[in-house]
Amino acid sequence: MNDAVPLWTSAEIAAATGGVASAEFAVTGVAFDSREVGPGDLFVAMKGEASDGHLYLDQAFAQGAAGAIVSEPCAHPHVLVADSFTALQMLGRASRARSGATIIGVTGSVGKTSAKEALFAALDRGAPGAVHRSVKSYNNHTGVPLSLARMPRDARFGVFEMGMNHAGELAALTQIVRPHIAVVTAIAPAHTEFFRDESAIADAKGEIFAGLEPDGIAIIPFDSPHRDRLTAAAAPHASRIVTFGIAKGADVRAIETVRLATGATFVTVQQDGRELSFTMAQPGMHWVSNALAVIACVEAAGADLGLAGLALAELGGLQGRGARFMTTLADGQALVIDESYNANPASMRATLAVLAKEPGRHVALLGEMRELGEASADYHAGLAEPILAANVEMALLVGEAMAPLAQALEGKVETVHVGDAAAALTSLRTILAPGDAVLIKGSNGVGLARVVTSLGGGKT
């Protein structure tokens, strides 16, 4: 991408947002969190329930901001608008309107961030420096327009993650992103507090297809029990529907999977009568499913499948989503599998299956799963079966909602149940022994990332 061309000029920002520029300036990036502002950035000062970005204008400019979007006049170069949040959305829409990139939207109950990162790596291998994607998990009503506003004007591909907690949220986001390709990674119990059942979750995820551009392509998990529901949601909007999976009938199908000694999986994929073989570096069948979704997207985007396979073979572990490292103990080391970013029943089962393949004693540090509604107790107790199947010898459970699981494991697995992440770290330090493999996973709000950091991995 051309670094000499600014991302936005003050005149373009004013035109996109209907605001008034106080001076001429140009920016190379966009941020709404003052802590993330760097040299040349545009700082969007938004007013929220807990804070007001206008209070951090001096800090943002001290860190090198080149301009700001504000709803109150200030002494720094700025574009004055009626509402900064609305202006950010308008800037995102303007970025999408000017872009000639192939836009891919990614959603799903599980795997969407991992699939987004894998897809970025696969596309970037064939078009280095010409692929833009949303960073972190910026996938909501503020994160999506921010990610769009950051897209370089000469990007060839744009990959955007879209999330939701309630029905109707994806319908709004997909109209901003307007993807050429839209993929649903999987449907699973997540945010069930806000949905009557899993089919309602599938309906909400299927909203992504309503924003497809003309001749758009929908990519759907073939093995999902909600496949037909997703297909029905896509049919009015997609010119082509592509399925991926392992069962016979999938358009992009894994016809062979072989686990290698490294934990990676050698995968042979059949697609349109052709076969593609590659190694999926990340362990577990959930990563095979992610890889199939990526291959389907790469083919739909007209990118190089061979280079995509090479990228998947080299894909490193993602912080909070499968990153691995050795933690040093007094008399040796233990393997840590960092899945601390988030959790729901499906992702818990998938990562416990990965732990099952590791040598050594298996330790599971599991935080409670949130937003599961009235079925929360059953979902938590239901983890007993995959814990036993993974030959877990020590279960360290965190949070009040884990009580039903602690009860279900009584007399079957040595279990410690604590109230918070700090207590979990204290207990874990007394439990871990050289040669152990410990899985750390829980809902983000539990704060298990701090445990990971204390063991020597990740960042707070």
Digitized pLDDT (tens) for each residue of the chain, 460 residues in all: 555 689 999 999 999 999 999 999 999 999 999 999 999 999 999 998 788 999 999 999 999 999 999 999 999 999 999 999 999 999 999 999 999 999 999 999 888 888 999 999 999 999 999 999 998 767 888 999 999 999 999 999 999 999 887 888 999 999 999 999 999 999 976 655 666 788 999 999 999 999 999 999 999 999 999 999 999 999 999 999 999 999 999 999 999 999 888 888 999 999 988 999 999 988 889 899 999 999 999 999 999 999 999 999 998 877 888 889 999 999 999 999 999 988 889 889 989 999 999 999 999 999 999 988 888 999 999 999 999 999 999 999 999 999 999 999 999 999 999 999 999 999 999 999 999 999 999 998 999 999 999 999 865 4
3-state secondary structure of 433: coil
22 is in an annotated binding site: no
Give CA–CA dist 288/295, Å, rounded. 10
pLDDT at 176: 96
pLDDT at 69: 98
110 is in an annotated binding site: yes
Residue 41 is given by DSSP the state E
What CATH architecture is 8-87? 3-Layer(aba) Sandwich (3.40)
Spell out the domain ranges in the chain. 8-87, 99-313, 323-454
322 is in an annotated binding site: no
Instruction: Give the closest residue to 77 by CA, choosing from 23, 118, 2, 14.
Output: 23
Identical fold for domains 99-313 and 323-454, yes or no, is: no
Give CA–CA dist 428/192, Å, rounded. 30
112 is in an annotated binding site: yes
> How many other β-carbons are positioned within 10 Å of the β-carbon of residue 247?
11
Strand-pairing partners, residue 161, are 106
pLDDT at 236: 97
Q: 99-313, superfamily in CATH?
A: Mur-like, catalytic domain (3.40.1190.10)
pLDDT at 1: 59
10 is in an annotated binding site: no
pLDDT at 2: 56
177 is in an annotated binding site: no
pTM across the whole model: 0.81
Q: Is 194 exposed, middle or buried (0-12, 13-18, 19+ CB in 10 A)?
A: middle
What CATH architecture is 323-454? Alpha-Beta Complex (3.90)
Residue where the block lists tokens 């007394």: 430
Amino acid of residue 292: L
Q: What are phi and psi of 220, to 5 degrees?
A: -130, 140
340 is in an annotated binding site: no
Contacts 24+ apart (CB under 8 A), 245-253: 245/221, 245/289, 245/292, 246/288, 246/289, 246/292, 247/222, 247/223, 249/222, 250/222, 250/223, 250/292, 251/222, 251/296, 252/292, 252/295, 252/296, 252/299, 253/222, 253/292
pLDDT at 191: 53
